[in-house]
Structure formats: structure tokens, C-alpha cells
């Protein structure tokens, strides 16, 4: 046991307490809080954020960390304690590299940028957004420059922030393969827009009954309502205080049954990850999911690999029919399976189908690469965006609101974040491939027995929280690092069958 680590604990506990309050306020503001609360509550949030920051970023913690990084102290630490120290050290270094006055100016810019983006999107006015975007890019380049190691490319610094160990080299290979194999499939499918009908999903589905169905679906995949809750919000999300308080949300549309169903399976997948983190680390800095990509792999594993498979619906579809006997009267499980896998190139990432989803991410990735390699003018971005949509998906936005302005991430300075969305899907497919070699996954699904699948993920991924990073989790679980081939194989196979290619 390390006495120095014991001294660090009260600091960690205090920081956790502030974080808990912030998570709760955040959850509340997205679900229950009245619309006009924001400006007033924000003042308290500001103070709490400051305290949360100061509880960790202070000279005492800095000294303890320096000591804990010595060889002598490292030897006394357990696996989890080492991971906590490493995590904390990274946070410290990242923040220390940026001069405080620049950090503060950047925070002010962020606060200003969000409403500008919102207005630009609403009024379809990219010119309004461009100057702010240019400023944000300049800051991102500057901050990445502070962290840049010798020989490291600027955009790799940004990628590493969100997905440790992932570089342009890995992503170029991933997206290159994806493009080569799937652009032809997408173009073939465009020729058969009527092969699959989605009429059965477009009837009128009572929202109160959808809510009951959503709860049933969450329970079906194993979401534990003794340690979790489900609320309603404009955009579904998952958050957690620890592994005994995990919160998911859902949203409902009367004429889009699949939206609520797949949102609850998706968020349920995120929720199961957090519920599965082991008790001894849940209240520490490594107590949440490993990374954004790893988290997304779990939600997409449930949503797509399981939830959009034929076997998943075999024991389930009759039960869904009991919720909506009239609307689903005469619909077969086969028709339902095909409807929920309908694919067509579209303009909006968040509404994309499983096949075309990663292309939206790839386009964003290619543009971000151009920005950080320094060979593009911000005012030219909408034209580049539209040209890429035409090339890869065969569709062109009619305006920038449904084009380059659709996502808020850049206005929050989140460059290097998007690839994790596509990585999540590919990691899910890699895990799915491996799991099927280990156990009869499809047989379990047909029997409505999801426990062995859940247990596999808990055992290999969830319990470790952020103590292991993506590449290590994949290596330890599947015997190899990230390999995009399984994802490409999975999509090609699935959509060739569905669309009789
Ligand atoms: Zn997600």
C-alpha cells in the first residue's frame, strides 16, 4: 500500500462530489428543468465547475502526483491505482500546457460560439458562422501545438485526445478500405429504392404506449432499473453518477416507431457499459467507460449487431405486436426486419442508416484533416462538403443548414472527435465477429437469452472502466488490435443479402 496514494484519495473524493453535482444539474437541465432556468442555474454551475477544477488542479495534488510517478512509488501501486495516477497526470499536463489567460479567452469564445452556430443553422447563414469558426480553429491549432511531440502531426494530437493511440495512419487505412468496399454497394442500393418498404413503421404509434415499449426493451436487453432510470429528452443520451445510478433518456415520434426502439437499445448499450464497471473503481477517475469510441462500440453493438439482426426479433416481435396489435396486424417478422434495415443515402448524419453512417463521419474526417494540414480556406468549406457528399453518397445538400452546419461539435472546439463515431461501429463488428467464434450468439438471440452476451462484455470490457484503453481492450479480448476488416465484411454481407446484390 502506498501512503502517498492514500493522501491523494481525499482530493479524488472531493472532486468526485463536485462532479456528481454537475452531472445531476446537467441531466436535470436536459430533462426536467424549465426552459428559462438556464441563465440563472448557469451561475451555480460556473462556481461548481471552478471548485471541481481547483479540487484537483492544485499544488498539493501536483506534488503528490510527482511523487507517485517515481519508480519507488509505482512499485507500491496496484493496477487500478497506476491507471488512476496515469489518467490524472494526463489531465494535469494537458491543462498546464495552456497559458491560463489563453484558456480563459478560449472558454469565452466557446460560450459565444454556440449561439452563433445555432443562429447560423437556423437562418442557413454560413457567413455568420465562418469568422467564429476560424477563430476556434486558430485556438485548436495553437493548443494542439503546445501538446505536439517531436515528429507528431498536428491532427494526430487532436485524434489522440479522444482515442488514445489512434492516428491518421490507422484512420486513413480504415476509411480507405471502407470507401473501396462500400461506395459501390451504396450506389447499387440507390438503384433499388422500392425493394424494402418501411410503411409498417410509419403508422400512428401512441407515444404513451411507445414509452411502455421502451421500458420493456431496456429491460429485455438487461438494463437494471434498480440501478438506473429512463427519462425523456430532445436528444437521447446516457449519463451516470456511478455504477449504481445510470441514467438513459429517450425521445418519441408518433410516426417513427423505430426511432424510440433503436434509441433505447443504443442508450441501453451505453448504460450497460456503465452498469458493468466494477465496484472498486466506480467512484474513481477511471470509473467510467474507456473512451468515446469504446463507449460508442457498446451502444452500436446492441443497436446494430444485435438489435438490427433477424434473430434478435424472432422471440421478440410477437411481444412488440402486443403493444401495437392494430398497427402491426399482419406484419411478419421478416417484413419488420427488412424495414428496420432500410438503407438510403441521406444528408443528415444522426438520421443515417447503418450502412451509410460512417460515410458522414468520413467526410467530416477528411475535411478536418484538410483544416489541420493547413491547406484550406474556411470560406471554401461548404463547397468542399457538398462536393464530397455528391462523390460518396450521390446526394447534395440544398443548403448549408442540412450540410456543413448540421452538427454543433466544431462550435465547441471538438476537432478529432468525429472519427470515434465510426470507430465505435467498427469496434462493435470486431467484437461481434470474435464473440460468435466463442459462443452461439445467434442461437442465444433466437432463444431470447441475452445474459451470456451481456456477461461476455462485462467480463472483457465493462468491468475495467477506463483502466484499459481501446487497443488494449481489443487485444486482450479478441487477440488483435483494431481491425476494420470485420466491419466491412459485416456490412457487405448484410446489405448484399438484404438488397439482393
Ligand atoms: Zn451513443
Does the pLDDT of residue 63 top 90, yes or no?
yes
111 — pLDDT class (breaks 50, 70, 90): confident
Residues 6+ apart with CB under 8 A from 430: 474, 478, 482, 483, 486, 487
- d(CA 435, CA 66) in angstroms, rounded, equals 41
Read off the pLDDT of residues 375-392 as tens digits, 9 standing for 90 and up: 799 999 999 999 999 999
pLDDT(67) > 90: yes
13 C-alpha vs ligand 1 centroid, how far in Å? 28
Asked whether the beta carbons of 487 and 429 are under 8 A apart, the reply is yes
Distance 66 CA to ligand 1 centre (A): 36
How remote is the CA of residue 474 from the centroid of ligand 1, in Å?
19
pLDDT in tens, 390-399: 999 999 999 9
Summary mean pLDDT of the chain = 95
CA distance 222 to 270: 12
What spacing in Å lies between the alpha carbon of 129 and ligand 1's midpoint?
27
Percent of the chain with pLDDT over 70: 100
Does the pLDDT of residue 39 top 80, yes or no? Answer: no
264 CA to middle of ligand 1, Å? Answer: 10
Indicate whether 304 pLDDT > 90. yes
Confidence of residue 231 (pLDDT cuts 50, 70, 90): very high
Report the separation in Å between the CA atom of 296 and the middle of ligand 1, taken as the mean of its atom positions.
5
Instruction: Note if the pTM is more than 0.75.
Output: yes
Ligand 1 midpoint to CA 266 (Å): 6
Q: What is the pLDDT of residue 84?
A: 96
**Mean pLDDT for the stretch of residues 111-138:** 94
Cell of 38: 438556464
Q: Which of 314, 303, 310 is CA-nearest to residue 273?
A: 303
Say which of 81, 258, 267, 303 is annotated catalytic: 267
**Average pLDDT of 100-121?**
88
Q: From its phi and psi, is residue 372 left (phi > 0), alpha (psi between -120 and 50) or beta?
A: alpha
The confidence band for 37, taking pLDDT boundaries of 50, 70 and 90, is: confident
Q: Residue 251 Cα, ligand 1 centroid: separation in angstroms?
A: 14
Q: What is the pLDDT of residues 443-498, one digit of tens each?
A: 999 999 999 999 999 999 999 999 999 999 999 999 999 999 999 999 999 999 99
The number of CA neighbours under 13 Å toward the Cβ of 334 is 2
Domain 168-498 adopts which CATH fold? 1.10.1370
Report pLDDT for 86. 95
C-alpha closest to that of 346 among 357, 330, 362:
357
Cell 429491460 maps to which residue? 219
What phi and psi, each to the nearest 5 degrees, are found at residue 249? -130, 165
pLDDT category of residue 44 using cuts at 50, 70 and 90: confident
Q: Tell me whether residue 51 is one of the annotated catalytic residues.
A: no
Assess whether pLDDT exceeds 80 at residue 45: yes
Amino acid at each position: 500500500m502506498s501512503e502517498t496514494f492514500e493522501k491523494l484519495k481525499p482530493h479524488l473524493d472531493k472532486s468526485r462530489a463536485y462532479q456528481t453535482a454537475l452531472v445531476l444539474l446537467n441531466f436535470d437541465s436536459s430533462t426536467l428543468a424549465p426552459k428559462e432556468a438556464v441563465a440563472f442555474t448557469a451561475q451555480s454551475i460556473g462556481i461548481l465547475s471552478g471548485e471541481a477544477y481547483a479540487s484537483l488542479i492544485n499544488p498539493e495534488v501536483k506534488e503528490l502526483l510527482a511523487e507517485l510517478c517515481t519508480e519507488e512509488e509505482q512499485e507500491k501501486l496496484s493496477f487500478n491505482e497506476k491507471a488512476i495516477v496515469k489518467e490524472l497526470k494526463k489531465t494535469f499536463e494537458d491543462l498546464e500546457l495552456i497559458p491560463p489567460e489563453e484558456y480563459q479567452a478560449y472558454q469565452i469564445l466557446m460560450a459565444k460560439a454556440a449561439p452563433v452556430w445555432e443562429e447560423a443553422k437556423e437562418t442557413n447563414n454560413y457567413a455568420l458562422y465562418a469568422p467564429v469558426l476560424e477563430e476556434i480553429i486558430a485556438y485548436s491549432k495553437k493548443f494542439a501545438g503546445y501538446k505536439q511531440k517531436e515528429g507528431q502531426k498536428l491532427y494526430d494530437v487532436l485524434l489522440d485526445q479522444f482515442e488514445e493511440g489512434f492516428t491518421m495512419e490507422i484512420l486513413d487505412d480504415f476509411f480507405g478500405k471502407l470507401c473501396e468496399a462500400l461506395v459501390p454497394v451504396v450506389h447499387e442500393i440507390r438503384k433499388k429504392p422500392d425493394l424494402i418498404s418501411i410503411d409498417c413503421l410509419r403508422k400512428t404509434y401512441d407515444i404513451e404506449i411507445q414509452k411502455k415499449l421502451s421500458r420493456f426493451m431496456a429491460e429485455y436487453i438487461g438494463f437494471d432499473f434498480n440501478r438506473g432510470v429512463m427519462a425523456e429528452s430532445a436528444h437521447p443520451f446516457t449519463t451516470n453518477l456511478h455504477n449504481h445510478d445510470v441514467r438513459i433518456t429517450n425521445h418519441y415520434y408518433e410516426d417513427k416507431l423505430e426511432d424510440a426502439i433503436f434509441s433505447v437499445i443504443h442508450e441501453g448499450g451505453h448504460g450497460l457499459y456503465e452498469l458493468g464497471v466494477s465496484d472498486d473503481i466506480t467512484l474513481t477517475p477511471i470509473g467510467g467507460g474507456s473512451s468515446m469510441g469504446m463507449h460508442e462500440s457498446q451502444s452500436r453493438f446492441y443497436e446494430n449487431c444485435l438489435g438490427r439482426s433477424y434473430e434478435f426479433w424472432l422471440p421478440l416481435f410477437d411481444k412488440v405486436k402486443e403493444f401495437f396489435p392494430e398497427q402491426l396486424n399482419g406484419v411478419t417478422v421478416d417484413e419488420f426486419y427488412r424495414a428496420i434495415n432500410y438503407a438510403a443515402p441521406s444528408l443528415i448524419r444522426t438520421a443515417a442508416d447503418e450502412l451509410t453512417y460512417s460515410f458522414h463521419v468520413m467526410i467530416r474526417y477528411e475535411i478536418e484533416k484538410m483544416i489541420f494540414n493547413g491547406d484550406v480556406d474556411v470560406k471554401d468549406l461548404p463547397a468542399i462538403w457538398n462536393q464530397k457528399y455528391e462523390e460518396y453518397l450521390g446526394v447534395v445538400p440544398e443548403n448549408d443548414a442540412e450540410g456543413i452546419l448540421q452538427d454543433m461539435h466544431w462550435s465547441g472546439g471538438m476537432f478529432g472527435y468525429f472519427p470515434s463515431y465510426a470507430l465505435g461501429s467498427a469496434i462493435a463488428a470486431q467484437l461481434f465477429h470474435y464473440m460468435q467464434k466463442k459462443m452461439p450468439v445467434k442461437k442465444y438471440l433466437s432463444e431470447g437469452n441475452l445474459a451470456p452476451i451481456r456477461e461476455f462484455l462485462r467480463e472483457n470490457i465493462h468491468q475495467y472502466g477506463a483502466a484499459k484503453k481501446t487497443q488494449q481492450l481489443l487485444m486482450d479480448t479478441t487477440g488483435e488490435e483494431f481491425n476494420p476488416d470485420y466491419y466491412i465484411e459485416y456490412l457487405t454481407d448484410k446489405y448484399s443479402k438484404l438488397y439482393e446484390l
